[in-house]
Structure 1
Amino acid sequence: MSTTLPCKLSYPKSIWLIFGNEFCERFSYHGLKCILVLFFVTVQKYDHDTSTVIYHVFMVCAYIAPFFGAIAADSYWGKYKTIFILSIVHAIGNIMVAVASFATSISLGFQRSFTIAGLLLTAIGAGGIKPCISAFGGDQFVLPEQNDQLNKFFSIFYFAVNLGGLVSTFITPELRKSVQCFGEDSCFPLAFGTPATLMLISIVLFVFGKSLYKIKKPTTSIITSSIGCIFRAIKNKITITSEVEKKYWLEYADDKYSNREIFELRSALDVMYLFIPLPIFYMLFDQQGSRWTLQGTLMNGRIDFLNWTIKPDQIHMLNSLFVIILLPLFDIAVYPILYKIGINTSIRKITLGGLFAALAFVCTATVQYTIFGQSFLALSTNEGNILRIYNGFGCKVTVSDPSVGNNFTIQSLDVLDINYYGPVSNETGVLSVYIDPMCELKTNTLNQRVSIAKEKVSSYILQSNTASNGDGIIQLKRLRELKKLKNGNPNLRFLCDERSTGRYITLRDVNNKLSEINIRLSPDTEDQSYETPIGTYNLYVDGEYLSQTVDLLPASVNDLLLRPDHKLHDNARLITTEKGKYIHILWQVPQTLFISIAEVMFVVTLLNFSFTQAPSSMKSIISAFNLFTQGVGNILIIIVAKMNLFENRGHEFLFYAILMIFSMIVFMLMSAKYKFKSATDDHTADDENNA
């Protein structure tokens, strides 16, 4: 009698090409995505809310596309052909965005439309590939002989995904900001062109291994058959009258579908039912590339000892780095501890992960409040009843207010705040103004009543009345109140009389000569304000340099006083009435760490839960539905952004944290009666149904 030992199968060589393909494809996708919002804001001149909406519409398309990719792979083209075709679509989309980023000679409207078309193709390609590539890699193994090797494949595959994201979120922001091209202070064409090049390389790597791949022909798609079963059951339940009532509504499709098909679909729907509150998590998770990046633009990324600046779209490379570190750490150390305290099921780990996401947004809100210089629950930065008077003259002014009983002196191009304690009426007593004779005005005195709003700032400016040959006559003009912009950028207004109308103001960044702001003064300039980037600027009036610099800080309210004198030096002054804090961007590390912990506990555990709890023939539809919940989460972000519910972004971040906690409570209640399935449940259930 003789025995034959089984030969150990070698690791498929084609797998390494799939790893390289996935690394390049994820580099391309994450590299494009991480700089997208700043491209919308700085180059295509969208506001922050519109930029956020477009970004998340792109994400929605990327997470709806997996349904179509899965159907095409399973029913029509097969996995290889689907990946190849959609990779080409992905690459074309990337190239279109790169072309749009340097096509500055065309109209802005056409540039925007061309970008949107490129992003749509990118989303279709990247999303359609997503459910196919890992399954295609799994097809290369012989089962059950290579079960252990298959498990290692998925671990290395997930590592390649995160490594691609890590490298791209470091390199592309560096190319965007550290390189100048085409006369601009940044180089978006290079930053977008690099991911496009990596996408082309990914196609070459994928096609190069065609002779090595095991290519399976498509079979009937479980997605299409499941949808057919659902509609058949609904139709029969409505149209067919039966004396025997079915126990479960899907059983009404038993005239066309087998008991096993109905049972598996029912099991899948039980899992999908638990997915209902989960899109809320992705409302938080996917804001790393939008709201968190915009928050980073308000922060100081300078690291002096490295002579390097962390870019606002670069800090979130820490997310991929943390995930790579945390995955083995949780398996080795954290989960054994959690098991001992009762967190020993997938549902409980998912719930705890959701709470960490809420904690991440509490940190995000705290950072936002700190930038704005507000307390955690402050609704307004204004306190008291304040009369604010700007002196627009080139000499000092004396103001007398009988209701306060004091005389106040305001220096040239300066401001005075008079705080009225206690209750105020609509008007004070007559305000007396005396102008220093050095100003050589027609009149040196003015008596005028002023209005003071309760618990607000009421602002006036002293300047010459130039209307109807009134030059040299004093006027006290009411100004509208400026508020901090909710996105945290500086708010800037120019205060001058009508003699400055038509002048051109240029603010040129002292650290980047290619970055400048150009504004033409108009008659209603005092009723207008301008959103400007944070920075220190040299000031020019009609091309002539003024001796002072202008420092615009985060969450600041600024007035630039200008005199119309022909000698411009020392005839301008920036007055910052409110300002925030210019804190370091590393303060975003805690929120990034917490969202990474949430990703490991929520996203990775949810993938495992979806795979183990789905019937063997329904794993693709569960995978596609799981990705779809992320798309729904991005739709919800768009709705909140368009509703414009909050004047302070910190309040918005707190809202998301509270919503996340509420969704986890709902998730726990919905999963209270869920019965976990084992690998043998399918066979047992099949036998029972046949009997």
Structure 2
Amino acid sequence: MGKKLCGTNYPLSIAFIVVNEFCERFSYYGMRAVLTLYFVNYLHWDRDLSTAIYHAFTSLCYFTPVLGALIADSWLGKFKTIIYLSIVYVIGHVVKSVGAIPTVGDTSMHIALSMVGLILIAFGTGGIKPCVAAFGGDQFEPEQVVETRKFFSIFYMAINAGSVLSMIVTPILRGDVKCFGDDCYALAFGVPAVLMVAALVVFISGSGMYKKVPPEGNILMDVCKCIGFAIKNRFRSSKHDVKRKHWLDWAEEKYSKRLIQEIKMVLRVLTLYLPLPMFWALFDQQGSRWTLQATRMNMAMGEGFTLKPDQMQMLNALLILIFVPIFDFIIYPLVGLCRVNITPLRKMACGMIFAAIAFGLAAFVEINVVKSVVEPAGPGESLVQVYNLMEGDLSLSLPVPASDPLKMPISSFQDPQEYKTLHLVEHSSNLTILVHSPGSVHPTEITQSYTEQRAYSLILYPVASGNGMEHDLVEDNIEKDPGGNAFLRFISTLPENTSVYLTDVPINVQANYIMSPIQNLTRNRYPSVKCEAPTGVFSNLDLGLLDFGASYTFILKKEGENIVAARFEDVMANNVNIAWQIPQYVLITVGEVMFSVTGLEFSYSQAPANMKSVLQAGWLLTVAFGNVIVLIVAEGGGLEQWAEFVLFACLLVAVCIIFSIMAYFYTYVDPSQLDKLYQQDAAKGESEDELKMTEKMTKL
């Protein structure tokens, strides 16, 4: 017996394993929390490609555990596998962090480093996933059943504690710390890299205390070989061979009846796994589609607290810690008192329904979120809004569809309120807008070139001499900032250049109605902004609240001795609060408790003890294939986001119906009867072998 934890019967070595798991889960979930926004904001990929790569990475993380299990059980053993693949893991984090440094190469270099880093991380985290928990279990003696069970509870708590903490901290490092003039993704990826180094150091530190079980061969390989031999033998057989009750019985010539019987039991469970990837297709979109939805929402939780869009993911891990004991000790017992027979498979089906409802709510939220988004111009169309900076009101005649009014009034220094659609004859066309001035007999014709699928602002302003009207056409950005920041720009009516100090670096605004470049600014109130002109310094510019996702244009004017800013809102602020995502997170977590936790317990109870690793591999593969489904839909669907959410919800309901039918015909196996069944099969197999041997001896 090795050293014990102070005052307990637990081996001291498990402390190193638990701390290692906490650091590793912090490392993985912290990196993954900011990954989608990294793709969108830093690499400037579109939402669909970012979602696809995110789920391709997640899928790879759940394919590689099969490889890790093979290496550990057949070659290196769990301890060496954890060490070597953790080194690969650390290298992946370092490469990923370096790829997020703007000064390191160009965009292609950043993409290459990011992809290499993610592949190494996927092999690292996936490879050690099936090893760490099992290695912890190896530290206990066979009679320490209670201690082993409590260890796995502590281990599970360490996983969730690491994930919750990381999904709070890394978005703060990304958004609140600025490096190279922008969000600090290098730091957000660098801290998880440091935590993975700490995980490796802690694990190696306990090396002298571990009980290291040597590799004994991989049961998964035996299962695959047995199945392959049965299939091959079946197709090689002639019509005159004895018929077998089950296709696996064709492996009896080479493999024991016990192994064949165990594989039959496992295959019954694995057959039930076939519909399960659809649940994970919905569940893992918390880090992709739901995070992207959050970027277009109002993230203020009261006046003094603001969430980051990638911090909402921590709600799932936090709710899991709350819901698991509530379901185990309150909800399930109450359902039992109502004499409702809620079997494990029924719980899993209910979990699917809750996940589908969560996506229905996500679709409802999305429909309201997009109301604040300017719908982009389609092929053969262009968008335009008009600023009237003249002293009097005007009316416009736009070449717009017949359903819109022919003449549109536009007040002096008033917000244009909305973009109008222009229909183009070609990819780029010259169109004429007629401007009607009060008291003028003939309208002013303004002809400009417009390009399809772009948005413009047409600025009307007086000639410097005081008579007549000038105009300027400026291309607009109507997309919201992926990080939830506000965009703003300035037009000055002053005859001299002006400097506006929103930060330490001034924004230079040119004189005589020249539009300044667009600036990106953190959401905040700006009640007193320094404005400096050659004639003096004015510190009373009140820009008000620059809200999440909005785009503003401020017109600088002279009023008395002061400069004031007239405020125009080009793109509406995000007016749906991020709190509206809480119900969908609650429902998806309820679904996870009923589906995932119950599914693992059911799987383990329905299979032999030496087949647990096979079922674990099968379960992880359902997660991998679920992410492949999202990858396919994201790249090939082409649906609006709310419609995509509805599609996933409907698909899961359909899969739930199929799963429920399969569950109806499933016969549960009593775990306490498994060993007795094996003994009977083994005795039967030995009797048959003895009979065959007797027949051979008789012939001799």
TM-score (norm. length: structure 1): 0.78
In structure 2, how many angstroms separate the alpha carbons of the residues matched to 1:437 and 1:22?
78
2:150 to 144, 152, 175: 152
Following superposition, the deviation at residue 633 of structure 1 comes to 0.8
What SS does the aligned partner of 1:390 have? Answer: strand
Following superposition, the deviation at residue 485 of structure 1 comes to 7.6
Following superposition, the deviation at residue 584 of structure 1 comes to 3.0
1:225 to 196, 219, 222: 222
Change (3 A) 1:505 1:620: farther
1:52-201 to 2 correspondence within 5 Å? 52-143=51-142, 145-180=143-178, 182-201=179-198
What SS does the aligned partner of 2:100 have? Answer: helix
Report if the CA contact (8 A) 1:397-1:434 is conserved: no
In structure 1, how many angstroms separate the alpha carbons of the residues matched to 2:508 and 2:266?
57
Change (3 A) 1:304 1:493: closer
Q: Which amino acid aligns with 1:677?
A: V
In structure 2, how many angstroms separate the alpha carbons of the residues matched to 1:506 and 1:287?
44
Query: Is 1:271 aligned to 2:264, yes or no?
Result: no
Change (3 A) 1:515 1:247: farther
In structure 2, how many angstroms separate the alpha carbons of the residues matched to 1:107 and 1:405?
50
Change (3 A) 1:487 1:236: farther
Q: Which residue of 1 aligns with 2:645?
A: 653
Change (3 A) 1:559 1:192: closer
Following superposition, the deviation at residue 329 of structure 1 comes to 1.7
1:612 to 605, 616, 623: 605
1:210-359 to 2 correspondence within 5 Å? 210-243=207-240, 244-303=242-301, 307-339=304-336, 340=338, 342-359=340-357
Which stretch shows the higher mean deviation, 31-40 or 170-179?
170-179
In structure 2, how many angstroms separate the alpha carbons of the residues matched to 1:514 and 1:659?
52
In percent, how many aligned pairs have the same letter? 34
1:634 to 627, 633, 642: 627
Following superposition, the deviation at residue 412 of structure 1 comes to 5.4
Following superposition, the deviation at residue 630 of structure 1 comes to 0.5
Change (3 A) 1:168 1:516: farther
Following superposition, the deviation at residue 132 of structure 1 comes to 1.0
Change (3 A) 1:571 1:87: same
Report if the CA contact (8 A) 2:24-2:195 is conserved: yes
In structure 2, how many angstroms separate the alpha carbons of the residues matched to 1:372 and 1:408?
27
Change (3 A) 1:302 1:513: farther
Report if the CA contact (8 A) 2:549-2:572 is conserved: yes
Following superposition, the deviation at residue 517 of structure 1 comes to 13
Q: Which amino acid aligns with 1:651?
A: A
In structure 1, how many angstroms separate the alpha carbons of the residues matched to 2:574 and 2:472?
33
Q: Which residue of 1 aligns with 2:596?
A: 603
Change (3 A) 1:253 1:183: same
In structure 1, how many angstroms separate the alpha carbons of the residues matched to 2:472 and 2:191?
57
Q: Which residue of 2 aligns with 1:566?
A: none
In structure 2, how many angstroms separate the alpha carbons of the residues matched to 1:20 and 1:416?
56
What SS does the aligned partner of 1:102 have? Answer: coil
Q: Which amino acid aligns with 1:620?
A: S
1:669 to 661, 673, 695: 661
In structure 1, how many angstroms separate the alpha carbons of the residues matched to 2:27 and 2:228?
39
In structure 2, how many angstroms separate the alpha carbons of the residues matched to 1:232 and 1:506?
80
Change (3 A) 1:209 1:515: farther
Following superposition, the deviation at residue 643 of structure 1 comes to 1.5
What SS does the aligned partner of 2:664 have? Answer: coil
In structure 2, how many angstroms separate the alpha carbons of the residues matched to 1:460 and 1:44?
28
Q: Which amino acid aligns with 2:651?
A: L
What SS does the aligned partner of 1:645 have? Answer: coil
Report if the CA contact (8 A) 2:64-2:126 is conserved: yes
What SS does the aligned partner of 1:587 have? Answer: helix
In structure 1, how many angstroms separate the alpha carbons of the residues matched to 2:617 and 2:643?
34
Q: Which residue of 2 aligns with 1:452?
A: none
CA RMSD of aligned residues (A): 4.8
Change (3 A) 1:343 1:103: farther
Following superposition, the deviation at residue 396 of structure 1 comes to 3.6
What SS does the aligned partner of 2:436 have? Answer: strand
Change (3 A) 1:505 1:215: farther
Report if the CA contact (8 A) 2:348-2:598 is conserved: yes
Report if the CA contact (8 A) 1:286-1:634 is conserved: yes
Report if the CA contact (8 A) 2:485-2:523 is conserved: no
Report if the CA contact (8 A) 1:275-1:629 is conserved: yes
In structure 2, how many angstroms separate the alpha carbons of the residues matched to 1:405 and 1:115?
53
In structure 1, how many angstroms separate the alpha carbons of the residues matched to 2:33 and 2:477?
32
In structure 1, how many angstroms separate the alpha carbons of the residues matched to 2:117 and 2:282?
26
In structure 1, how many angstroms separate the alpha carbons of the residues matched to 2:498 and 2:674?
75
Q: Which amino acid aligns with 1:411?
A: S
In structure 2, how many angstroms separate the alpha carbons of the residues matched to 1:285 and 1:311?
20
Residue segments in structure 1 that go unaligned for 5+ positions in a row: 1-7, 420-429, 450-457, 497-503, 519-524, 564-568
Report if the CA contact (8 A) 2:24-2:199 is conserved: yes
Residue segments in structure 2 that go unaligned for 5+ positions in a row: 1-6, 421-431, 448-454, 492-496, 510-514, 557-561, 689-700
What SS does the aligned partner of 1:656 have? Answer: helix
Q: Which amino acid aligns with 1:372?
A: V
Change (3 A) 1:610 1:200: same
Change (3 A) 1:407 1:80: closer
Report if the CA contact (8 A) 2:323-2:590 is conserved: yes
Following superposition, the deviation at residue 445 of structure 1 comes to 2.3
1:434 to 433, 436, 454: 436
Change (3 A) 1:505 1:276: farther
TM-score (norm. length: structure 2): 0.77
Change (3 A) 1:279 1:220: same
Query: Is 1:390 aligned to 2:386, yes or no?
Result: yes
Query: Is 1:643 aligned to 2:636, yes or no?
Result: yes
Change (3 A) 1:578 1:170: closer
In structure 1, how many angstroms separate the alpha carbons of the residues matched to 2:599 and 2:508?
48
Equivalent residues, number: 629
